[in-house]
Structure 1
Amino acid sequence: MEITGDEIRRRMIEHESLGPGGLKLVGATITGQLDLSDVVAKKPLVLHDCTTESPVVLSRAQFSLLDLRGLVAPAIEARGLAVDHHLRLSGARLSGAESIDALHMRIGGSVYLDDGFHATGSVTLSGSRVAGVLACQGGRFEGGLNLVDLHVGDAIFLSHGCEVSGGAHSAVRMRGTHVDGQLIFRRGRFTSPGVALDLRHMSVGKELFLPFECVDGQVQLEGLTYEGLPRDATVDDWLTALPTRTPYYATQPWTQLAAAHAAAGHERDVRRIRVAQQRDLRRRGRLSRWGRVWHLIRGVTVGHGYRPGLALVWLAGVLAVSVGVVLTSGAVRCSVVEQIGYALNVATPLVKVDAARCTVDVTSGAGQLVLASTWLLQVLAWAFATLFVAGFTGLVRRNA
């Protein structure tokens, strides 16, 4: 069956003469260009498995339902398209460099780019509003998927066989997008030599399903917020991905992850996340040379305040060194037990043991070495004790 694009336009303009089912064509070849721009037809338009050699133009058109399942065409231009119910493009095959240009659509139902949908060029739905779901399961997008500033009322499914590659900026670009429900990448495949997923400043109202093994490329996560714990990736997966799969250091993804685990009561994981964040800051953050040195000292001594017990380990090491210096010097005159007490006295803050009978031969080089080293060890011991108290107090305050 052949039908001209002009004939379809005429019928939709005269939509009042159509029945409740609107216009339905199956397997038709559309000759000439199908240009339905600015057509207002509150009836369904159904073009199942139809073929056209020219781009389909739907800009600023209005339909109650638009069903283009199995469409074969170079491209679809649908800027400002309004559909009361669903927009269906399941199984469509589009071959143009800009396969879909659909900025600022208003869809009252859901958008289906699934079930064998294939676009060799870019697909752009940026700035659109979709009341239901955006379903891309089983869809193949070779020129990137642009979903910037999109608003979806239910969920976005880039999952279960969805494959996205190419794209000028990233394979999937969702900067500033808001989804009231879930964002699901489970069993999808997203590939780019640069950024595969751009999720910057995106808001997910419910769970995020993001297994990092489905991403072949970098992931931009700065400003991404979600409810609850992220799914399909363990804490270890996130601790590996954030410092190695993101293009630069950003505080917010670490803070979001820590807050999610804190809300779930996973305090051990929160400390692991915070310590890993500090390591990433030292490695990739904008720190001065001395700032980087001080950051390293804090990390080694108290785990940046999240592992104050490390300071006690260092304090124990200082005491052991003090005992070793005193016992091996030969310059301290008293019994072995009293020498150990003397070493603890000179190095341990606040705690004192009886070693009154010990004397140091300060006239010898060994005695002078003992005095100098114990002074230094005492300073270190006080420093580690103070770091422990400060770190422990800060940890208690954060957990209060």
Structure 2
Amino acid sequence: MELASGEWVDFEGDVVSASLIRDLLVDSDQLDPRGVRVRNARIDGQLDLCDVDTKRPLALRDCVAEAPLLLDRAHLSALDLTGLVAPAVSAPWLKVDHYLYLTNAQLNGGADDWAVDLGEACIGSHLSMSGAQLLSDTEFSLNAHKLRTGSQVYLAGVHAVGTVRFDGARLGGNLRCDGAVLTADGAAFLGVDMHVEDNVFFHNGFRARSENYIAVRIRGSRIGGQLVLGGRATGLTALDVKHVRVGMEVFVPADFAEGLVDLDGLTYSGLPRESGLDEWLELLAEKTPRYASQPYLQLAAAHQAAGHERDVRRIRVAQQRDLLRRGRLSRSGRLWHRVSGATVGFGYRPATALLWLLAVLALSVGLMVGVAGPGGAVRCSTVEQIGHALSSATPLVKPDPAQRCQVATTTGLGQFVVVTTWVLQLLAWAFATLFVAGFTGLVRKNA
């Protein structure tokens, strides 16, 4: 029989019986080690390989089937369904020793089926679905829940309507979604608790759109290499990478997310790429769903490791401003944050308090020279008036009781000058204390 020879058989659009293919694989002792290799055939009947265990490959390239292919719990050496046109491929618990190809497949599960079901399947090497069109009116277009692969997963150029699901998957190489276009009412790409040994790519024209939920959700995932984002994700929440651990860098362009971005708990190595510090700070302050300290601390730690001390201070100040704006603070805590922010930059810019101290001294001099002197409240030279003002307002410096420049307190103006001088002296003490406290880090907070 020609199909048992292991050679490619091109049917040129003619019919091949589904039962014949099954019989050949079940009775694999009579089958060439290269397996069944069919091209350009129309499969008559439903190909049901559920629970079939064979060490032979199956290749059905550019074939058409009118019924879903059933591969539940099947065990094959390799499976090549390149260019398949069918309603669906149902393969939960499938085991393939080597590779699985669904490249350029066209699968439409309609209202009854997921386009592809690879739930808890195990692929010894790589899975390629590049260029596939996956349509389903049900929740998922591709269900790869707890999928296991020994190598790469290629979803490059995939067009999917319905959620692409990789929850709990364990992928032994890269996950490549270059140029994929994903659309769903729920999450467009769902990969909660996904483990990827190497890199994850959502770039080079990648598009993900969720009508009512999250465009890309990989919360709690572990990525051994880089997380590379590009293209556009659109949804109420565009990107959820909460508690994701990335072994290397993250690449996040400023225009990737059209919607909220949840970064709380995201950890990575090195500086974030594709966006500058200003863009990251804007992202954290304006596009995150709520205030969280961890994204700021992670960003600050990355810049600290790179030796960017000035940027670290900018990040810390931006964090405290966000805490003041969106954080949970008591009234007294909020008031203290406002004061410390205005005076010492929340403890990270203590030199600001020195500027306030100089402003107080200038006010004291202006009060004495511009108000008390012309009003007759003091009778001494201008130089003596300046010296009196500075000695009165400067902390730890007491006025000389023997000096000639004294304020006459018998007049209303003199009393006003004295009381104002007391207020200015209190302010000078406060700013000097805040400077010392900010300089020594006493007002810094881990919020």
State whether residues 170 and 197 of structure 1, in contact with CA within 8 Å, keep that contact through their aligned partners in structure 2: yes
Q: How does 1:244-263 map to 2 (within 5 A)?
A: 244-263=286-305
Aligned twin of 1:373: 420
Between 1:147-156 and 1:386-395, the stretch displaced more is: 386-395
2:324 paired with 1:282: yes
- Which one has a larger percent helix, Structure 1 or Structure 2? 1
One-letter amino acid of the counterpart of residue 170, structure 2: R
Identify the match of residue 431 of structure 2 among 384, 389, 394: 384
How far off its partner does 1:6 sit?
5.5
Deviations 1:205-242 (A, max 9, x none): 00000012121111110000000000000001011111
Change (3 A) 1:94 1:6: farther
How far off its partner does 1:96 sit?
0.5
Aligned twin of 1:93: 133
Change (3 A) 1:388 1:332: same
Identify the match of residue 152 of structure 1 among 196, 207, 227: 196
2:78 paired with 1:31: no
Rounded to whole Å, the distance in 1 between the matches of 2:321 and 2:394 is: 31
Identify the match of residue 191 of structure 1 among 219, 226, 234: 234
2:279 paired with 1:237: yes
When normalised by structure 2's length, the TM-score is 0.84
How far off its partner does 1:350 sit?
2.4
Aligned twin of 1:324: 366
Q: How does 1:1-400 map to 2 (within 5 A)?
A: 1=13, 2-3=15-16, 11-13=24-26, 17-20=31-34, 22-41=57-76, 43-53=77-87, 55-63=88-96, 64-74=98-108, 75-97=115-137, 98-114=140-156, 116-143=157-184, 144-166=188-210, 169-186=213-230, 188-192=231-235, 194-327=236-369, 328-329=371-372, 330=375, 331-351=377-397, 356-394=403-441
Deviations 1:295-324 (A, max 9, x none): 100000000110001000100111111111
One-letter amino acid of the counterpart of residue 216, structure 1: E
One-letter amino acid of the counterpart of residue 179, structure 1: I
How far off its partner does 1:352 sit?
5.8
| Structure number with bigger Rg | 2
Change (3 A) 1:163 1:243: same
4+ residue stretches of structure 1 with deviation over 6 A? Answer: 395-398
How far off its partner does 1:65 sit?
1.2
Rounded to whole Å, the distance in 1 between the matches of 2:398 and 2:232 is: 65
Change (3 A) 1:14 1:339: farther
How far off its partner does 1:14 sit?
5.1
One-letter amino acid of the counterpart of residue 59, structure 2: K
| RMSD of aligned alpha carbons | 2.0
Rounded to whole Å, the distance in 1 between the matches of 2:131 and 2:24 is: 25
Deviations 1:25-71 (A, max 9, x none): 22111232211011122x11111111112x21110010021111111
State whether residues 60 and 81 of structure 2, in contact with CA within 8 Å, keep that contact through their aligned partners in structure 1: yes
Change (3 A) 1:100 1:3: farther
**What SS is found at the alignment partner of 1:48?**
coil
State whether residues 344 and 352 of structure 1, in contact with CA within 8 Å, keep that contact through their aligned partners in structure 2: no
Rounded to whole Å, the distance in 2 between the matches of 1:178 and 1:9 is: 39
**What SS is found at the alignment partner of 1:70?**
coil
Deviations 1:317-368 (A, max 9, x none): 1111111111212312211100110011110012468681111111111111
Change (3 A) 1:230 1:150: same
How far off its partner does 1:189 sit?
1.2
State whether residues 247 and 269 of structure 2, in contact with CA within 8 Å, keep that contact through their aligned partners in structure 1: yes
State whether residues 164 and 171 of structure 1, in contact with CA within 8 Å, keep that contact through their aligned partners in structure 2: yes
User: Number of paired residues?
Assistant: 393
How far off its partner does 1:145 sit?
0.3
State whether residues 29 and 52 of structure 1, in contact with CA within 8 Å, keep that contact through their aligned partners in structure 2: yes
State whether residues 5 and 30 of structure 1, in contact with CA within 8 Å, keep that contact through their aligned partners in structure 2: no
Between 1:26-35 and 1:236-245, the stretch displaced more is: 26-35
Deviations 1:105-129 (A, max 9, x none): 1100111111x21101111011000
How far off its partner does 1:3 sit?
4.5
Deviations 1:264-306 (A, max 9, x none): 0000000001101111111111112222121100000000110
**What SS is found at the alignment partner of 1:265?**
coil
State whether residues 302 and 311 of structure 1, in contact with CA within 8 Å, keep that contact through their aligned partners in structure 2: yes
Change (3 A) 1:248 1:396: closer
State whether residues 157 and 184 of structure 1, in contact with CA within 8 Å, keep that contact through their aligned partners in structure 2: yes
Rounded to whole Å, the distance in 2 between the matches of 1:245 and 1:393 is: 33
State whether residues 308 and 392 of structure 1, in contact with CA within 8 Å, keep that contact through their aligned partners in structure 2: yes
Gaps of 5+ in 2: 1-12, 36-56, 109-114
State whether residues 3 and 28 of structure 1, in contact with CA within 8 Å, keep that contact through their aligned partners in structure 2: no
Deviations 1:155-204 (A, max 9, x none): 00001011111165300001001100000013x21111x10000100000
State whether residues 140 and 164 of structure 1, in contact with CA within 8 Å, keep that contact through their aligned partners in structure 2: yes
